[in-house]
Amino acid sequence: MIFTVIGLVIGGFAGYFYYVEIGCISGSCPITSKPVNSTLYGAFIGGLLFNMFERPTKK
CA distances from 23 to 7, 11, 46 (A): 21, 16, 18
Confidence grade of residue 28 (pLDDT, cut at 50, 70, 90): confident
Q: Rounded to two decimals, what is the model's pTM?
A: 0.81
Alpha-carbon span 17 to 5, nearest angstrom? 18
Q: Is 12's pLDDT higher than 80?
A: yes
Q: Is 10's pLDDT higher than 90?
A: yes
Alpha-carbon span 46 to 15, nearest angstrom? 9
